[in-house]
Chain A
Amino acid sequence: MSSKEITGAEILLECLKKEKVDTIFAYPGGVVLKIFDVLYEQKDIRYILPRHEQGAIHAADGYARSTGKVGVALVTSGPGATNTVTGIATAYMDSIPIVVFTGQVPTALIGNDAFQEADIVGITRPCTKYNFLVKDVKDLAQTVKEAFFIASTGRPGPVLIDLPRDVVTNKAEFHYPEKVKIRSYNPTVEGNKRQIKQAADAIAAAKKPVCYIGGGVILANAADQIKEFAEITKIPVTHTLMGIGGFPGTHPLSLGMLGMHGTYYANMSIHNSDLIIAIGARFDDRVTGKVEGFAPEAKIIHIDVDPTSIRKNVRVDIPVVGDVKHVMTELNKELRASKEPWDAIRKHWLKQIDAWREERPLSYEHDDEVIKPQFVIEKLYEVTGGDAIIVTDVGQHQMWAAQFYKYDKPRMWCTSGGLGTMGYGFPAAMGAKVAHPNKHVFSISGDGSIQMNIQELATCVENNIPVKVIILNNRYLGMVRQWQELFYQERYSSVDLGSVPDFVKVAEAYSAVGLRATKPEEVVPVLKEAMKINRMVFMDFVVARYEKVFPMVPAGAAIHEMIFGEEKKKEEKKLKVVK
């Protein structure tokens, strides 16, 4: 054996250094002991021990979303590996670049139902962009290189590498390839010139265009190009839940979010438009409502790096496959050169949109005695000045956080959009805070969601990761309850969380800080106090129990067929009295 040979564990560490990984979220176990032994004696990579493997993956995901870099997690075989599945599926649905290393039983035992064996490559095949089982330590470095390349290019996504124990302990020489070429993987970057020209012509000809942006804009770091596009053409911009921050929320051309809980004016604009420019978005069912009724008059331009997104759910007139940043740069060039009198062309359309804005702005009814959850979000925006990373869980609070906080920059918003994973928020916020120690990171949760990964309190306290968790506590699974109220004749099955724990005491039990607000006037002081303390904080906001998210497009309706709060107001008052 040559003296230059090192163990697989050491090779892995060298690979991570070459990929400029500074932090990994890692939970140990039998077959990965050797890797943890190597981590123990180095200082280049911070390795953080979460309290559950799901937390590790969400943390890596939050790290990736807030930075644009690849997030990394390491877990052991069997249950360690299977615990990562929800986190991986979450990242897959939202196209988030993470690399997950799982331990595996020794190659000789694979398939023998060995202790802590799980076929994690088989299990995660449909929810990873790609996955690998490394069978020989000599292939390890090349595999890691390919994994980071696949995870971060084209339409990004999670990649999993399964590492049998002997691959980690065996030795080989370390060579890290400078470049990687995979003959069967060549994502399209440049958009087709003719298609871009066609798109520019259609934009110039349109009377009532709307730009609809999704998470692809964030992933491609193309927010500047979108702003330029909107400002050249005076086209209003609506965003999906994933596209938040892709265009400044405070910009006069911003329509806010569209879709099921989108704004009235965004949905009306889409419905009445004659041209939709969809950028890095995929016409999810939460966006389109009833597909047959979606934007009946509109031509559709669809710009996306993933050809499978195009024409999957809706007909598309002008498809452009390519990296959003590249395509938008080219498209902006064309549009600037065309010298159309954009202001004059757009005047009528923008006036109509302003009328819709005035007709039904986003609103809620303030209450002097009970805290309205929307009020907390509004105040959070005021107190932070919009300069904080906001991470959410899934449910009503997620929608309010999307509606009542204004996001002006990309990567300041992390949420599980596609999979809708309750329990995502807190560990993802932990990952974002690790990546941004000097930024305020708030996790907005409900009392249901926070209980799904509450164990990460220990991680945050232990590693001094001061995440500020807002719990909008209505003692209900509020979104499910809302559906039951509206569509299941108020038959509230399994949604009353009744005896939720005392979150202040829970925080204190973990040596974190617990704060509580029960009246509207206590909201701002609690938020300010939390911002002042450089420690892990839980804020328990006891909010109105029966508040609902509006506007709402009921399932199966077209997106202009929204329902609003007023119709139910009387009933709500009645319920309050009963309470």
Chain B
Amino acid sequence: MKHIISVLVENKFGVLSRVSGLFSGRGFNIETISIGPTLDPSISQMTIVTTGDERILEQIIKQLNKLIDVIKVTDFADKEFVEREMCLIKINAPLDLRSEALRIADIFRARVVDSTQKSYTFQLTGDEKKINAFVELLQPMGIKEIVRTGKVAITRD
């Protein structure tokens, strides 16, 4: 089962390595991980997407809490939350396909962030499903490159 875990950590060097080392050393999976600053510059926030049964998830959360640099761990499993991912996609866009590409982009509310005579680069934000659907529709045109941020999530009040 897939889980989203939010982790507040000290903003120190080596912390990412402690967290990723914990996952690799104990055989836990990381599907995606994204890290950014918080309002407090001494604290960073990580969003980790992982898989495992209930027992493994319990261990992951306990082991994360045990790391000295971890301040707070939030498991989103029993919470209402919003999750988003951002993705940049560069596709082949020769003359005959350009308008079709833009039509698809329009349906998904993707934005064109770069355009050359032969290619378009789109920016799309959404949940995983939406991004996967967009990628699927663009596939026949020839995707040159794709970069995804991994998920971020926030609880709903």
Query: Interface readout for B29-66 with A: 1 if CB under 8 Å, 0 if not?
Result: 00000000000000000000000000100110011011
Which residues of chain B have C-beta atoms less than 8 A from A121's C-beta? Answer: 14
User: Does chain B have a CB within 8 A of A183?
Assistant: yes
Chain A nearest CB, measured from B108 CB (Å): 40
Roughly how many angstroms separate A422 CA and B150 CA in the complex, as a whole number?
45
User: Does chain A have a CB within 8 A of B85?
Assistant: no
Q: Tell me if A184 and B70 are in contact (CB < 8 A).
A: yes
Which residues of chain B have C-beta atoms less than 8 A from A306's C-beta? Answer: 66
Binds B, one of A122-130, A224-232, A538-546: A122-130
Looking at chain B, what size class is its interface with the partner chain? 10 to 19
Roughly how many angstroms separate A183 CA and B12 CA in the complex, as a whole number?
14
Q: Tell me if B66 and A125 are in contact (CB < 8 A).
A: no
Which residues of chain B have C-beta atoms less than 8 A from A126's C-beta? Answer: 21, 25
Chain A nearest CB, measured from B23 CB (Å): 11
Chain A nearest CB, measured from B24 CB (Å): 9
Residues of chain A in range 117-143 having any CB-CB distance to chain B below 8 Å? 121-122, 125-126, 129-130, 133
Chain B nearest CB, measured from A320 CB (Å): 15
User: Closest chain B residue to A306 by CB distance?
Assistant: B66
Chain B nearest CB, measured from A305 CB (Å): 11
Which residues of chain B have C-beta atoms less than 8 A from A106's C-beta? Answer: none
Roughly how many angstroms separate A399 CA and B118 CA in the complex, as a whole number?
74
Which residues of chain A have C-beta atoms less than 8 A from B13's C-beta? Answer: 133
Residues of chain A in range 388-415 having any CB-CB distance to chain B below 8 Å? none
User: Does chain B have a CB within 8 A of A185?
Assistant: yes
Q: Tell me if A308 and B21 are in contact (CB < 8 A).
A: no
Q: Tell me if A307 and B25 are in contact (CB < 8 A).
A: no
Q: Tell me if A185 and B68 are in contact (CB < 8 A).
A: yes
Roughly how many angstroms separate A185 CA and B9 CA in the complex, as a whole number?
11
Roughly how many angstroms separate A125 CA and B18 CA in the complex, as a whole number?
7
Roughly how many angstroms separate A130 CA and B13 CA in the complex, as a whole number?
13
User: Given A121-B14, A126-B21, A126-B25, are A311 and B55 neighbors across the interface (CB < 8 Å)?
Assistant: yes
Residues of chain A in range 90-127 having any CB-CB distance to chain B below 8 Å? 121-122, 125-126
Query: Interface readout for A444-457 with B: 1 if CB under 8 Å, 0 if not?
Result: 00000000000000
Which residues of chain B have C-beta atoms less than 8 A from A125's C-beta? Answer: 14, 17-18, 21
User: Does chain A have a CB within 8 A of B101?
Assistant: no
Chain B nearest CB, measured from A284 CB (Å): 16
Contact of B59 among A122, A150, A182, A308 (CB under 8 A): A308
Roughly how many angstroms separate A485 CA and B69 CA in the complex, as a whole number?
48
Contact of B68 among A130, A133, A308 (CB under 8 A): A130
Roughly how many angstroms separate A129 CA and B18 CA in the complex, as a whole number?
11
Q: Tell me if A184 and B59 are in contact (CB < 8 A).
A: no
User: Closest chain A residue to B62 by CB distance?
Assistant: A308
User: Does chain A have a CB within 8 A of B86?
Assistant: no
Which residues of chain B have C-beta atoms less than 8 A from A133's C-beta? Answer: 13-14
Roughly how many angstroms separate A308 CA and B26 CA in the complex, as a whole number?
12
Which residues of chain A have C-beta atoms less than 8 A from B63's C-beta? Answer: 308
Roughly how many angstroms separate A150 CA and B66 CA in the complex, as a whole number?
12
User: Closest chain A residue to B71 by CB distance?
Assistant: A184
User: Does chain B have a CB within 8 A of A505?
Assistant: no
Residues of chain A in range 301-355 having any CB-CB distance to chain B below 8 Å? 306-308, 311-312
Chain B nearest CB, measured from A159 CB (Å): 9
User: Does chain A have a CB within 8 A of B10?
Assistant: yes
Roughly how many angstroms separate A182 CA and B9 CA in the complex, as a whole number?
12
Q: Tell me if B66 and A184 are in contact (CB < 8 A).
A: no
User: Closest chain A residue to B72 by CB distance?
Assistant: A184
* Chain B residues touching A, majority SS: helix
Roughly how many angstroms separate A430 CA and B21 CA in the complex, as a whole number?
34
Chain B nearest CB, measured from A323 CB (Å): 16
Q: Tell me if B14 and A150 are in contact (CB < 8 A).
A: no
Which residues of chain B have C-beta atoms less than 8 A from A182's C-beta? Answer: 68
Q: Tell me if A308 and B14 are in contact (CB < 8 A).
A: no
User: Given A184-B70, A185-B68, are A122 and B17 neighbors across the interface (CB < 8 Å)?
Assistant: yes
Chain B nearest CB, measured from A418 CB (Å): 15
Roughly how many angstroms separate A185 CA and B65 CA in the complex, as a whole number?
9
Which residues of chain A have C-beta atoms less than 8 A from B9's C-beta? Answer: 184
Which residues of chain A have C-beta atoms less than 8 A from B65's C-beta? Answer: 307
Residues of chain B in range 66-80 having any CB-CB distance to chain A below 8 Å? 66, 68-71
Q: Tell me if A150 and B17 are in contact (CB < 8 A).
A: no
User: Given A126-B25, A312-B59, are A184 and B69 neighbors across the interface (CB < 8 Å)?
Assistant: yes
Contact of B62 among A129, A150, A307 (CB under 8 A): A307
Roughly how many angstroms separate A307 CA and B58 CA in the complex, as a whole number?
10
Chain B nearest CB, measured from A152 CB (Å): 14
Which residues of chain A have C-beta atoms less than 8 A from B59's C-beta? Answer: 308, 311-312
Residues of chain A in range 175-209 having any CB-CB distance to chain B below 8 Å? 182-185
Q: Tell me if A311 and B17 are in contact (CB < 8 A).
A: no
User: Closest chain B residue to A159 by CB distance?
Assistant: B68
User: Closest chain A residue to B18 by CB distance?
Assistant: A125
Which residues of chain B have C-beta atoms less than 8 A from A311's C-beta? Answer: 55, 58-59
Q: Tell me if A129 and B68 are in contact (CB < 8 A).
A: yes
Chain A nearest CB, measured from B63 CB (Å): 5
A130, A150, A183, A184: residue with the most chain B Cβ atoms closer than 10 Å:
A184
Which residues of chain B have C-beta atoms less than 8 A from A184's C-beta? Answer: 9-10, 68-71
Which residues of chain B have C-beta atoms less than 8 A from A312's C-beta? Answer: 59
Roughly how many angstroms separate A185 CA and B66 CA in the complex, as a whole number?
8
User: Closest chain A residue to B63 by CB distance?
Assistant: A308
Chain B nearest CB, measured from A460 CB (Å): 36
User: Closest chain B residue to A150 by CB distance?
Assistant: B68
Which residues of chain A have C-beta atoms less than 8 A from B58's C-beta? Answer: 311
Q: 13 A–B contact pairs at CB < 8 A? A: A121-B14, A125-B14, A125-B21, A129-B68, A133-B14, A150-B68, A182-B68, A183-B71, A184-B9, A307-B65, A308-B63, A311-B58, A312-B59
Give me the interface of A with B, judged by CB distance under 8 Å: 121-122, 125-126, 129-130, 133, 150, 182-185, 306-308, 311-312
CB-CB nearest 5 A-B residue pairs: A308-B62, A184-B71, A130-B68, A307-B62, A126-B25
* Besides A125-B18, A311-B55, 8 other A-B contacts (C-beta < 8 A): A150-B68, A184-B68, A184-B70, A185-B68, A307-B65, A307-B66, A308-B62, A311-B58
